[in-house]
């Protein structure tokens, strides 16, 4: 009975922390954004062609690369045009998502 | 309170939190939901895979007549003699391995009220949600003489497979000094830069094997996708070979003669080709028409966060058949929409919120094997519809270096292999 209370307390805490609805939709939007990358960079970021793989790259690497593409500090053929489609917050969310993989 | 050891507490806490965060959305699902998908191309196959990724408990059934899918993207490389058709052919074992049930049959009817799909082979599939991704159908008869019966002599090759091989064989059989006549349709149609790439890779083939041959394009539009970039490449690589006639230059075809192999223009010019490629005007695929999912335009109006039909609830339409402007009708766009649609359906089936979507489209075109060009765009959702993200996207620059164009050609090939793995792998 007492162990049940412990488990119930922790479980309820877990539910409250995961904050369903709004937070879940935000997490899913990170996934939706990452999914747009896979058409060129391969399933889950494992490229099978000339594009570099993004799987396993650190969050810092992703953020820096996208920001540099976006403002032209890093030359590109298409990535500047793509990176300009993402805000700072979206880039950070993307990087956090890739870091979790 | 009975004392609990720290080790036991940690074990209990971890397992309890694990159940609550992973299990919480699943608790809302009373039983496994059924999603049926009509069409196994860029849209349908992507939706099948990504539905399982978002929620493996969903029963996903994909209905596709073909045992293997032949892609329109990169079919111009087959027509131009650069690749065998096997390069652009993809089977469905990858989807099967993920638990997708693949049924090789054709959907003949949809009972929207009863939520059932009838298959030509006689069986019926029930669904909680239906995704319709049928591609295009052609508007036969919109131009005099342009009937379905002409395709064995005047191919469209705008649905890949047998038509791709037919056009390739016709070009191989053409003598040096022959004329290839191509006529793209008015907007909207599948793959706006496609005709430009086809002209390019046929020109590339002629340059190497039949250099006295000529290409004439008859286009009813005032301009075409990536026009500036294509013409820049053509001037450099195929000078004097390509005569592209737009709307202002008698480019509109008013009559097709499948026996005489001629296209007649608005001003009465009759152009005969040794090989003729007539690409008819288009509309949403047949099943979308018969199921009442299309509006007067011939295309299917949908919600841009879920791709649910504005006409029939619980039916989602993605890819070429949907009205998703400003997104173009392309394989990349269909796949992008499918991923958003899958996310939305997974959310709807588990009682969660539908996220604000994000889409990308990048169209690569090969002007030659070592010369690529591209047009890209990032899309978001605002004021109830898909919008272009301001400042993003655009065309490859004009006057770019040979290195730039080589890189884009390499990326074109890389894109194709990556998206094929992303969808069918």
Nearest to B389 by CA among B353, B415, B359: B359
Is the Cβ pair B362, A40 closer than 8 Å? yes
pTM of this structure: 0.91
Give per-residue pLDDT as tens, B282-322. Answer: 999 999 999 999 999 999 999 999 999 999 999 999 999 99
Determine the Cα–Cα distance for residues A88 and B367; give it in Å rounded to an integer. Answer: 35
Q: How close are the terminal C-alpha atoms of chain A, in Å?
A: 38
For A51, A90, B388, the CA distances from A85, given in Å and listed in that order, are: 19, 9, 8
Residue A101: predicted pLDDT = 73
Query: What's the rounded Cα separation, in Å, for the pair B343 and B362?
Result: 21
User: Tens digit of pLDDT for each residue in B236-275?
Assistant: 999 999 999 999 999 999 999 999 999 999 999 999 999 9
Residue A23: pLDDT band by 50, 70, 90 thresholds?
A: low
Kindly determine whether residue A43 and residue B421, on different chains, have CB atoms separated by under 8 Å. yes
Task: Report CB contact under 8 Å: A77, B19.
Answer: no
Q: With contact defined as beta carbons under 8 Å apart, do A25 and B347 qualify? A: yes
* Polymer length in residues for chain A: 101
Q: How many CB pairs under 8 A join A and B?
A: 166
Q: What is the DSSP string of chain A?
A: -HHHHHHHHHHHHHHHHH-TTHHHHHHHHHHHHHHHHHHHH-GGG--SSSSPP-TT--HHHHHHHHHHHHHTSS--SSHHHHHTTS-HHHHHHHHHHHHH-
Model pLDDT, residue B29: 52
- Residue A56's pLDDT band, with cuts at 50, 70 and 90, is confident
* Rounded mean pLDDT, B145-157: 98
Going by C-alpha positions, the residue among B98, B109, B105 that lies closest to residue B60 is: B98
pLDDT level of residue A99 (50, 70, 90 thresholds): confident
> Distance between CA B425 and CA B423 in Å, rounded?
6
C-beta atoms of B411 and A20 within 8 A: no
Task: Summarize the confidence of residues B197-219 as an average pLDDT.
Answer: 98
Residue B74 has pLDDT above 90, yes or no: yes
How many Å lie between the alpha carbon of B163 and the closest alpha carbon of chain A?
26
The nearest alpha carbon in chain A to B49 belongs to: A43
Between A14 and B405, whose confidence is greater? B405
Tell me what ipTM this predicted complex has. Answer: 0.90
Is A12 a residue whose pLDDT tops 80? no
């Amino acid at each position: 009975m007492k162990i049940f209370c412990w488990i119930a307390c922790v479980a309820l805490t877990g539910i409250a922390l995961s904050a369903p609805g709004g937070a879940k939709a935000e997490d899913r939007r990170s996934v939706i954004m990452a999914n747009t990358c896979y058409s060129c960079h391969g399933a889950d970021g494992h490229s099978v062609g000339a594009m570099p793989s993004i799987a396993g790259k650190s969050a810092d690497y992703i953020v820096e690369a996208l920001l540099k593409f976006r403002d032209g500090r890093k030359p590109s053929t298409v990535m500047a045009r793509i990176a300009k489609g993402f805000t700072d917050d979206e880039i950070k969310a993307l990087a956090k998502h890739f870091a979790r993989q | 309170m009975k004392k609990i050891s720290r080790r036991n507490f940690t074990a209990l806490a971890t397992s309890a939190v694990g159940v609550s965060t992973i299990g919480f959305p699943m608790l809302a699902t009373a039983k496994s939901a059924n999603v049926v998908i009509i069409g196994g191309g860029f849209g349908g196959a992507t939706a099948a895979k990504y539905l399982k990724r978002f929620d493996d408990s969903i029963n996903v059934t994909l209905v596709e007549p073909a045992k293997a899918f032949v892609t329109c993207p990169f079919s111009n490389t087959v027509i131009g003699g650069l690749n065998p058709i096997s390069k652009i052919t993809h089977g469905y074992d990858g989807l099967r391995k993920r638990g997708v049930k693949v049924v090789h049959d054709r959907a003949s009817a949809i009972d929207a009220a009863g939520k059932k799909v009838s298959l030509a082979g006689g069986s019926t599939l029930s669904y909680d949600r239906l995704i319709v991704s049928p591609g295009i159908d052609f508007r036969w008869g919109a131009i005099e003489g342009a009937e379905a019966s002409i395709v064995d002599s005047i191919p469209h090759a705008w649905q890949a497979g047998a038509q791709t091989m037919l056009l390739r064989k016709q070009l191989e059989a053409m003598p040096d000094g022959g004329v290839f006549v191509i006529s793209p349709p008015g907007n909207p149609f599948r793959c706006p830069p496609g005709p430009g790439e086809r002209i390019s890779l046929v020109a590339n083939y002629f340059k190497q094997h039949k250099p006295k041959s000529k290409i004439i394009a008859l286009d009813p539009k005032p301009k075409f996708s990536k026009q500036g970039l294509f013409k820049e490449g053509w001037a450099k690589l195929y000078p004097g070979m390509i005569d592209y006639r737009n709307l202002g230059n008698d480019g509109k075809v008013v009559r097709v003669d499948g026996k005489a192999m001629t296209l007649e223009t608005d001003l009465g010019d009759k152009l005969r080709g040794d090989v003729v490629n007539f690409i008819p005007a288009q509309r949403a695929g047949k099943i979308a028409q018969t199921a009442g999912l299309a509006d007067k335009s011939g295309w299917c109006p949908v919600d841009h966060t879920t791709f649910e039909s504005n006409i029939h609830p619980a039916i989602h339409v993605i890819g070429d058949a949907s009205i998703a402007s400003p997104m173009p009708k392309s394989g990349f766009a269909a796949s992008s929409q499918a991923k958003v649609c899958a996310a939305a359906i997974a959310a709807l089936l588990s009682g969660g919120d539908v996220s604000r979507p994000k889409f990308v489209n990048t169209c690569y075109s090969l002007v030659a094997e070592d010369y690529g060009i591209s047009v890209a765009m990032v899309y978001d959702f605002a004021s109830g519809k898909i919008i272009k993200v301001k400042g993003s996207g655009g065309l490859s620059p004009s006057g770019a270096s040979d290195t730039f164009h080589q890189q884009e050609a390499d990326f074109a090939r890389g894109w194709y292999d990556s998206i094929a793995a992303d969808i069918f792998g």
